[in-house]
Amino acid sequence: MRLIKQLGVVSCFVVLTAVGYQFRPAVAVAGGNACFPVGSQFTGAATQKDVNSHQQIRIAASEFTMGTNYGYPEELPAHLVAVDEFWIDIHEVTNEQFAAFVEATGYITTAERKPDPDLYPQIPPEALVAGSASFVKLDDRPKGQWREWWKFIEGANWRKPSGPGSDLEGRGHYPVIHVSYQDALAYAKWVGRELPTEAQWELAAQASAELKEANTWQGHFPLQDKALDGFDGIAPVGCYSPDSNGLFDMKGNVWELVQDVFDSAQHDPDLAPMRVIKGGSYLCSDNFCQRDRPQARQGQEEDFSTDHVGFRTVSTHLSSAANNQ
């Protein structure tokens, strides 16, 4: 874990953009809690649902072209990949779903734990506190530091997404954030599922490539978010039209963790591995980067968390109930 980030502003290692999105008004919901009711029936695609309301879409076995020959270096080269049939969550895991996991297991997330000083001798003990990285709005940044849009916030976690004093009131159907790869993996195991591989996720996202709707940043990043889509930040799941597979938010809203190590060749054995994240987030704009494509990929420390990274799960078999007893 690169907890050196706690000593200053967190680097902009996962800030991206989206291209050419068109505005579609979000569905009005009392309390701002949800656009797509978690656990409701969705028709128009092959689905399955378990006792934890993980409605999933079937993705048929396929050979497809993964990556690209024309993108960023980490996306190269384009290559054929065969993927067996699998099922993937219709939307990102929500606060409500994650809360059920925590209530049943007593699990404590990475952001809620004070780091072990023995594991991070290069960091002063007083800097080792529980918390997570958050995007800082322009008006909240120190004068003259408009480029520094990441900050480690002590006390920020999935329960308190904006730090001390915040809570999940009215946010049950928002994607859970401030969760690390380790947290996402623990949740997936509890529900009897897995995190998707990068190939599974990218295959499922192919249908989203032509979508013109997503929760992104409207305006000039990072100076102004006009919030034309009705969301100044993360949106509840399913507020935009699904792709032709029936999947919501494969573009924008929050980045999504997958199983794969980002770059094993450059991995420092003294640091936690970087895991791949896919799909972009609400910080994507049309003036900074071009990473809202299925082929785009970034790295995220597996024992660190932020307020624009979440996840969804997959299953490789039909099931009527999760194996969480």
Q: Which of 65-69, 242-246, 284-288, 313-317 has the lowest mean pLDDT?
A: 284-288
Are 87 and 59 in contact, with CB atoms under 8 Å apart?
yes
Secondary structure (3-state) at 201:
helix
pLDDT at 49: 58
Q: Of 223, 300, 286, nearest to 252 (Cα)?
A: 286
pLDDT at 20: 27
Rounded Cα–Cα distance for residues 256 and 234 (Å): 13
Q: What is the mean pLDDT of residues 110-119?
A: 90
Q: Which of 6-10, 30-34, 197-201, 239-243 has the lowest mean pLDDT?
A: 6-10
Secondary structure (3-state) at 150:
strand
What mean pLDDT, rounded, does the chain reach?
81
> What domains sit in the chain, N to C, each tagged with a CATH number?
1-325 (3.90.1580.10)
Q: What is the mean pLDDT of residues 48-56?
A: 66
Rounded Cα–Cα distance for residues 38 and 56 (Å): 11
Assess whether pLDDT exceeds 60 at residue 22. Answer: no
What is the per-residue pLDDT across 199-238, written as a single tens digit (0 to 9) for each?
999 999 999 988 888 888 888 888 788 887 778 889 999 9
Assess whether pLDDT exceeds 90 at residue 71. Answer: no
Assess whether pLDDT exceeds 80 at residue 166. Answer: yes
pLDDT at 10: 38
pLDDT at 9: 31
Residue 154 pairs with which residues in a beta bridge?
131
Residue 306 pairs with which residues in a beta bridge?
133
Are 193 and 185 in contact, with CB atoms under 8 Å apart?
no
